[in-house]
Chains A and B, each alone.
Chain A
């Protein structure tokens, strides 16, 4: 059996919103709360959820932009969270990030060639005279002409900028790439180009992806397994087909039914959730979704309102955290 490439164990990130005069914590924003899942080598793990559910925070912890409040990140069996800063940085090379907004994530004063070359130079991956060749190779790999390397980001369209961002991530020869909503800022036709490129690169370079997105159709297209997040908690994890055929958590069902389908004959009855996502600051005890849940049992003081449900494996590979499922409790 293959070892997971990455294991997250009870990973949490809390932000202190308010402190008292004496420095005691008054209120806490629980961005990510007790998250555990594995990513196998070569697979694409999709992480979905609405804005504010903490999916980007997970990505940032993986690339060492945030330090986890609690829990462990095991990369090929090594606990990254316990490492001293200098050693932790060594692993940064293996885990790279592609950002959401291709307009904000490239330095407008640098040529795209320099943007892609910078990580190679900073980390002294190659002798100086080899850098140029490598940049040209990376440009080709992402479908850009190497002749563009002396141009500036503003000369490129959104899709091309995203390719530059992908080339920059590839420059470090990573094993795992965290894609943080890489296509949500792009037009539909360009979106398809970038998704196909990512799929090709994963084969060509043997990459593993953590694919963060809010669009369930995009995630369905790229992922092997999918995790659904709601307010900092994973509510369901399953192989793609199980999740889309047989969603178990009420939130997953609502999310799936909310996606507009391009088939007017299929205008379905939607599960319309009431209200907005509640605040992750000092959440009430009980299931995070209880406030908007349409399926929960009506009783006051029932488990939904008092105790956080744990993620339980209900069928092989299919985990759900909801008391409505007989196996959870």
Chain B
């Protein structure tokens, strides 16, 4: 087959040799004693520990992902939320070993069923991608190869990973297209990507990602470019598949509405760091970190309100990744910062069964319990045009 262009779905070619090696590795993996801590817990599928990714640029090093840890259980939907540049996509690419230079994982481990993916040889990694973990990319418009039909692109991965002959692969591809809700799939499979709408292409991408029955699906902004009615369809489809085949999902998004509707657990990222981790109910009922709170409050509500007050604004903007603040990365924009915030890095600590990176919640800080209810934070809100102070 032709070389795989960047952005081709995760089901990348794995030769027979690669698969054989993978099988051997699988055997080894089982024989290996479970690594220290965490693993062995029931149903734990993926465990990321202390992952750090750097981009060495001419002007300096960008720490895109800094010491990120999370885990995904079987059948769970974990959402990673953050604004552009928060490192959420880079974290996903790191997990899958798909970073392009100058990006490089500098620390951490990614344990998938006990095996560290970062240390796997390329061939084995290829077998993991597609067969075990697959990914839906952000832009359905550019992630499909325009010169091949949907059939070519879908069957390529099915034949390689599932070792089916051509006819069986086509049959499976048609089934997958039907599963994702494409009408008359027998006909549409002969189409080229340009003959399909954005929603259809996103469905094809989803079908491709699901065609080898992955245990884990990583969906990077799967609905960002789509209309709301189509977005609702795709999200319903992902939840539905989760329920039917018990697949775990990592959902990367900037849309907190999407998170509230689909996720079980949420990680909020800011400047490459995890700033809050909680269950969806906890996070939306009582967001604790000032950044999370700010994000939630800056979304126009759909609730029935009379007056149109100005929206809450997080002042300023995301800092230049080359020059992150010395202390807490959010401190320059935070309404509740104190002297300590600018000088020291807060650690990720556990509070009430959730994780937070903020000095306000450290034991001994008496403000934590009372101060951050949405009402009281309002007093500090609505900073007028504060970003004029920040240099571009």
Contact = CB atoms under 8 A, between A and B. Distances in A.
Are chains A and B native binding partners rather than an unrelated pairing? yes
12 contacts: A50-B227, A143-B384, A189-B83, A196-B311, A197-B385, A214-B227, A244-B304, A260-B255, A261-B260, A261-B302, A267-B261, A273-B233
B229 A255 contact: yes
B26 interface: no
Contact of A187 (B84, B197, B389): B84
Chain A facing B: main interface SS: helix
Interface residues of B, number: 52
Contact of B313 (A156, A196, A218, A255): A196
A263 B281 CA distance: 8
Contact of A264 (B183, B231, B280, B384): B280
B197 A276 contact: yes
A30 B125 CA distance: 50
A218 B308 CA distance: 11
A302 B299 CA distance: 42
A276 B302 contact: no
A44 to B, nearest CB: 10
A28 B141 CA distance: 25
Nearest to B385: A143
B236 to A, nearest CB: 6
Interface string B292-309: 001110111110100010
A189 B298 contact: yes
Interface in B240-258: 254-258
A323 B183 CA distance: 28
B227 A51 contact: yes
Interface in A168-214: 187-193, 195-197, 199-200, 214
A18 interface: no
Contacts of A245: 304
A188 B317 CA distance: 11
A195 B304 CA distance: 19
A159 interface: yes
B34 to A, nearest CB: 33
B311 A145 contact: no
Most chain-A CB neighbours within 10 Å: which of B233, B300, B384? Answer: B300
Contacts of A195: 300, 311
Given A191-B298, A222-B308, A276-B200, A50 B261 contact: no
Given A272-B232, A277-B227, A188 B256 contact: yes
A259 B257 contact: yes
A192 B298 contact: yes
A259 B300 contact: no
A257 B313 CA distance: 26
A217 B261 contact: no
B295 A188 contact: yes
A151 B304 CA distance: 43
Given A192-B312, A196-B311, A261 B261 contact: yes
Interface string A238-269: 00010011000000001111111111110100
Contacts of B102: none
A143 B387 contact: yes
Interface residues of A, number: 54
Contact of B233 (A155, A187, A257, A272): A272
Given A157-B317, A265-B281, 8 more contacts: A50-B227, A143-B387, A148-B392, A188-B298, A221-B301, A258-B228, A258-B229, A260-B260
A216 interface: yes
Contacts of B304: 241, 244-245
A111 interface: no
A200 B308 CA distance: 12
Interface in A108-163: 143-145, 148, 151, 155-157, 159-160
A188 B392 contact: no
A275 interface: yes
A67 interface: no
B70 interface: no
Given A143-B385, A148-B392, A258-B232, A217 B302 contact: yes
B317 A159 contact: yes
Contacts of A155: 392
B48 interface: no
Contacts of A160: 317, 387, 392
A54 B318 CA distance: 35
B130 interface: no
A49 B6 CA distance: 33
Given A259-B257, A264-B284, A188 B302 contact: no
B230 interface: yes
Contacts of B285: 265
A264 B280 CA distance: 7
Contacts of A276: 197, 199-200, 230
Contacts of A325: none
B392 A156 contact: yes
B231 A258 contact: yes
A235 B11 CA distance: 43
A257 B233 CA distance: 12
Interface in A275-290: 275-277
Contacts of A145: 388-389
B273 to A, nearest CB: 17
